């Protein structure tokens, strides 16, 4: 199941890359720019075919993709005279801005559509206080801050007693419980190490299981090792749109905060107590591992699909926003150059002077190389951290 989750993540990642490049491709074609290549990956070409004036294919290094548009910058001097009118640099500024922003826009469209599908097709989490078990914690954590099981952790009381997801707990120690709140209070009030009778409703039949409660350091009360079942409720299309918009805004806010906290997160990457959970900074490797873990969770299919889609949605929104940062060689850097060119031309026109033309990209190459090296270096650092200190979905 973990492998299947990884495969789903890889497919979603490749699809996202293709969608990003398709945004550039379609808008460039719409404005009659000449597009010569559409590739997924970088490096050596593994497979390609020619259709019209464009070569489509796959390259050996699956680290992104690209669309080759003739005359992207002033540095390109190999543009044929007959192709110059169709070059990127010869088109109006507003058209170039649309082409550059289209990649991130497609990430946002995909994320919004998936949020809509979650609300309408899978369902939103409904407020429920039912004492129904959603998942069984596999172990007793070492302390209150531990986020995953490690070798040597004892089996959780619920797992040892044979509790299962879907069990509805109706009584604890002979006393009826009707809500999850009542159940939690009852568990915490019983002494750790004491065996209590737990009455459950399973497949329409009542069963009684004996559970020996545990104690977690730094956490008040006793511990059984169960998680409440999530109740999902599908909504109509209109509510689905408003819900998708609201969640999209929340994820954007969280993503902006994540970018702002990158510097402070670096020291935590190799800290097993803080970097080994789903809330920290992670790489593509870490995101794939989280997707695999999510798909292997012993929970309802709705919750499993919701967790996997949430990961994919968050990645698309983060990548879309990150790509808009005004830093070369990101799309946002090229956007900043075009906007600067148009602002400079407007000021020149106000002064009755000629258009200064395109920015001399040679002056920006050192900045571009520096930012590229920084992005690659940080990406490799996070990948190594995720390999040495794997991320985990908190138990």
Out of 197, 229, 261, a domain closes at 229
What's the total number of domains in the chain? Answer: 2
pLDDT of residue 391: 65
Query: What's the CA gap between 338 and 73, in Å, rounded?
Result: 10
Query: What's the CA gap between 144 and 395, in Å, rounded?
Result: 11
DSSP 197-243: EEEEEETTEEEEEEEE-B--BTS-S-B--EEEPPEEE---HHHHHHH
For 154, which DSSP code?
Answer: P
Out of 229, 248, 267, a domain closes at 229
Mean pLDDT of 69-80: 84
pTM score of the predicted model? 0.79
12's CB contacts (< 8 A; 6+ apart) are: 312
Chain CA centroid to CA 94, Å: 30
Q: Which of 18-22, 50-54, 324-328, 376-380 has the lowest mean pLDDT?
A: 376-380
For 139, which DSSP code?
Answer: B
Please tell me which residue in 21, 230, 289, 341 is annotated as part of the active site.
21
For 89, which DSSP code?
Answer: G
pLDDT-based confidence at 338, cuts 50/70/90?
very high
Phi, psi angle pair for 71, to nearest 5° = 65, 45
3-state DSSP helix/strand/coil % of the chain, to nearest 5 = 50, 20, 30
**Above 90 in pLDDT, residue 58?**
yes
Q: Is 21 a catalytic residue?
A: yes
Q: What is the pLDDT of residues 300-329, one digit of tens each?
A: 777 788 888 988 999 999 899 989 999 888
Phi, psi angle pair for 383, to nearest 5° = -60, -45
**Above 70 in pLDDT, residue 390?**
no
Answer yes or no: are the C-beta atoms of 337 and 359 closer than 8 Å: yes
Mean pLDDT of 245-250: 93
Q: What is the pLDDT of residues 147-163, one digit of tens each?
A: 677 788 899 999 999 99
pLDDT of residue 270: 66
Q: Is residue 76 part of a domain?
A: no
SS3 120: helix
pLDDT of residue 153: 87
Q: Give me the residue label for tokens 């999902």.
A: 232
Asked if 380 and 267 sit in the same domain, the reply is yes
76's CB contacts (< 8 A; 6+ apart) are: 70, 87, 89
Q: How many CB atoms lie within 10 A of CB 300?
A: 17
Q: Is residue 244 part of a domain?
A: yes
pLDDT-based confidence at 277, cuts 50/70/90?
very low
pLDDT of residue 345: 92
Asked if 277 and 373 sit in the same domain, the reply is yes
Asked if 333 and 254 sit in the same domain, the reply is yes
Mean pLDDT of 249-261: 82
Q: What is the pLDDT of residues 344-376, one digit of tens each?
A: 999 999 999 998 888 888 888 888 888 888 887
Query: What's the CA gap between 111 and 319, in Å, rounded?
Result: 11
pLDDT of residue 119: 92
pLDDT-based confidence at 276, cuts 50/70/90?
very low
Query: Number of helices and strands (H, E) in the chain?
Result: 10, 10
Asked if 222 and 240 sit in the same domain, the reply is no
Query: What's the CA gap between 345 and 170, in Å, rounded?
Result: 74
183's CB contacts (< 8 A; 6+ apart) are: 131, 169, 172, 177
More confident residue, 5 or 134: 134
pLDDT of residue 361: 84
pLDDT of residue 343: 94
Q: What is the C-alpha radius of gyration for the chain, rounded to an integer number of angstroms?
A: 27
Give percent of the chain with pLDDT exceeding 70: 89
Instruction: Give the angle subtended at the CA of 186 by the CAs of 181 and 187, to the nearest 5°.
Output: 100
Out of 208, 229, 250, a domain closes at 229
Mean pLDDT of 373-389: 76
Asked if 142 and 281 sit in the same domain, the reply is no
pLDDT of residue 334: 92
CATH of the domain at 213: 2.30.42.10
Asked if 308 and 376 sit in the same domain, the reply is yes
Q: Which runs of E-coded beta strand occur in the chain?
A: 35-51, 54-69, 124-126, 133-136, 168-172, 175-176, 195-202, 205-212, 226-228, 231-233
Burial class (CB in 10 A: 0-12, 13-18, 19+), 351: exposed
Mean pLDDT of 188-216: 92
Asked if 246 and 393 sit in the same domain, the reply is yes
User: How many angstroms separate the most distant Cα atoms in the chain?
Assistant: 90
Q: How many CB atoms lie within 10 A of CB 270?
A: 14
Which domain, by its residues, includes 361?
Answer: 93-127+235-395
Total residues found in the chain within this entry? 395
Asked if 221 and 277 sit in the same domain, the reply is no
The residue among 363, 365, 343 whose CA lies nearest residue 355 is 343
**Above 50 in pLDDT, residue 126?**
yes
More confident residue, 164 or 380: 164
Asked if 310 and 349 sit in the same domain, the reply is yes
The residue among 139, 165, 138 whose CA lies nearest residue 153 is 139
């Amino acid at each position: 199941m973990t492998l299947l989750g990884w495969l789903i993540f890889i497919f979603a990642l490749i699809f996202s890359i293709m969608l990003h490049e398709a945004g550039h491709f379609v808008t460039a074609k719409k404005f009659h720019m000449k597009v010569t290549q559409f590739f997924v990956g970088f490096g050596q070409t593994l497979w390609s075919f020619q259709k019209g004036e464009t070569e489509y294919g796959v390259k050996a290094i699956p680290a992104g993709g690209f669309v080759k548009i003739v005359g992207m910058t002033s540095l390109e001097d190999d543009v044929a005279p007959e192709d110059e009118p169709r070059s990127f640099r010869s088109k109006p500024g507003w058209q170039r801005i649309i082409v550059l922003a289209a990649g991130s826009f497609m990430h946002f469209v995909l994320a919004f559509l998936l949020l809509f599908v979650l609300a309408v097709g899978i369902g939103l989490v409904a407020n429920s206080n039912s004492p129904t078990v959603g998942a069984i914690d596999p172990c007793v954590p070492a302390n209150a801050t531990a986020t995953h099981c490690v070798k040597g952790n004892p089996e959780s009381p619920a797992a040892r007693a044979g509790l299962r997801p879907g069990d509805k707990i109706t009584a604890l120690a002979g006393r009826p419980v009707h809500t999850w709140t009542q159940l939690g209070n009852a568990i915490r009030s019983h002494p750790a190490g004491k065996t209590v009778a737990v009455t459950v409703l399973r497949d329409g039949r009542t069963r009684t299981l004996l559970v020996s409660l545990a104690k977690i350091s730094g956490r008040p009360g006793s511990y059984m090792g169960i998680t409440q079942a999530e109740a999902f409720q599908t909504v109509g299309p209109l509510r689905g749109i408003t819900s998708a918009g609201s969640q999209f805004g929340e994820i954007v806010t969280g993503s902006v905060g994540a970018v702002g906290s990158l510097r402070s997160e670096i020291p935590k990457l190799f800290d097993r107590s803080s970097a080994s959970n789903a809330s920290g900074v992670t790489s593509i490797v870490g995101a794939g591992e989280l997707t695999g873990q999510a798909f292997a969770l012993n929970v309802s299919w709705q919750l499993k699909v919701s967790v996997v889609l949430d990961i994919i949605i968050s990645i698309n929104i983060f990548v879309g926003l990150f790509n808009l940062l005004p830093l070369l060689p990101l799309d946002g850097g090229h956007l900043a150059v075009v906007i600067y060119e148009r602002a400079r031309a407007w000021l020149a026109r106000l002064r009755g002077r000629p258009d200064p033309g395109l920015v001399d990209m040679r002056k920006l190459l050192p900045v571009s190389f520096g930012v590229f090296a920084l992005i690659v270096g940080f990406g490799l650092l996070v990948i190594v951290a995720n390999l040495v200190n794997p991320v985990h979905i908190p138990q």
